[in-house]
Amino acid sequence: MAGLGMLPRRWRHRCCSLLLPALLVSWVACQAPPVPAGEQPWDGQDVHIERSFVPEQCARTVRSGDFVRYHYHGTFPDGSKFDSSYDRGSTFNAFVGKGQLIAGMDKALVGMCVNERRFVKIPPKLAYGSEGVSGVIPPNAVLHFDVLLIDLWNSEDEVQIQTYLKPEKCTRTIQVSDFVRYHYNGTFLDGTLFDSSHNRMRTYDTYVGIGWLIPGMDKGLLGMCVGEKRIITIPPSLAYGEEGDGKEIPGQASLVFDVALLDLHNPKDGITIENQQVPESCERKSQTGDFLRYHYNGTLLDGTLFDSSYSRNHTYDTYIGKGYVIAGMDEGLLGVCIGEKKRIIIPPHLGYGEEGRGKIPGSAVLVFDIHVIDFHNPLDSVNITTHYKPSNCTVLSKKGDYLKYHYNASLLDGTLLDSTISLGKTYNIVLGSGQVVLGMDMGLRDMCVGERRTVIIPPHLGYGEAGVEGEVPGSAVLVFDIELLELVSGLPDGYMFVWHGDVSPNLFEEIDKDNNGEVFLEEFSEYIQAQVDSGKGKLAPGFDSAKIVKNMFANQDRNGDGKITAEEFKLKDQEATEGHDEL
Q: Average pLDDT for residues 477-489, to the nearest whole number?
A: 95
**Residue 558: which region, alpha, beta or left (left: phi > 0; alpha: psi -120 to 50)?**
alpha
The CA distance from 144 to 50, in Å, is: 11
Q: Give me the helices (H) in 461-501, please.
A: none
Residue 566: other Cβ atoms inside 10 A: 11
Q: What percent of the chain has pLDDT over 90?
A: 73
Confidence of residue 490 (pLDDT cuts 50, 70, 90): confident
The CA distance from 408 to 426, in Å, is: 11
Strands (DSSP E) found in 426-471: 427-430, 452-457
Q: Which of the residues are catalytic? A: 296, 306-307, 326, 352, 368
Mean pLDDT of the chain: 89
Q: Is 24 helix (H, G, I), strand (E, B) or coil?
A: coil
Q: Average pLDDT for residues 501-516, to the nearest whole number?
A: 84
The CA distance from 362 to 365, in Å, is: 9
Tell me the CA distances in angstroms from 398 to 63, 443, 448, one per residue in order: 101, 11, 10
Confidence of residue 537 (pLDDT cuts 50, 70, 90): confident
Assess contact for 100 and 170: CB atoms under 8 A: no
Amino acid making up residue 231: I
**pTM (2 d.p.):** 0.74
Q: Average pLDDT for residues 497-515, to the nearest whole number?
A: 83
Q: Which residue has the higher pLDDT, 216 or 547?
A: 216
| pLDDT tens per residue across span 129-174 | 999 999 999 999 999 999 999 999 999 999 999 999 999 999 999 9
Closest CA relative to residue 105, chosen from 135, 83, 131, 87: 83
The CA distance from 165 to 245, in Å, is: 30
Confidence of residue 568 (pLDDT cuts 50, 70, 90): confident
Closest CA relative to residue 238, chosen from 215, 262, 261, 271: 215
Assess contact for 339 and 370: CB atoms under 8 A: no
Assess contact for 372 and 337: CB atoms under 8 A: yes
Amino acid making up residue 217: M
Q: What end-to-end distance do the CA atoms of the chain give, in Å?
A: 125
| pLDDT tens per residue across span 9-67 | 333 333 332 222 332 233 333 344 444 444 558 888 899 999 999 999 999 999 999 99
Q: How many CA atoms lie within 13 A of 71 on its CB side?
A: 24
The answer on pLDDT for 294 being more than 90 is yes
The reported pLDDT for the residue numbered 574 is 60
Sign (positive or negative) of CA dihedral 100, 101, 103, 108? negative
Residue 191: other Cβ atoms inside 10 A: 13
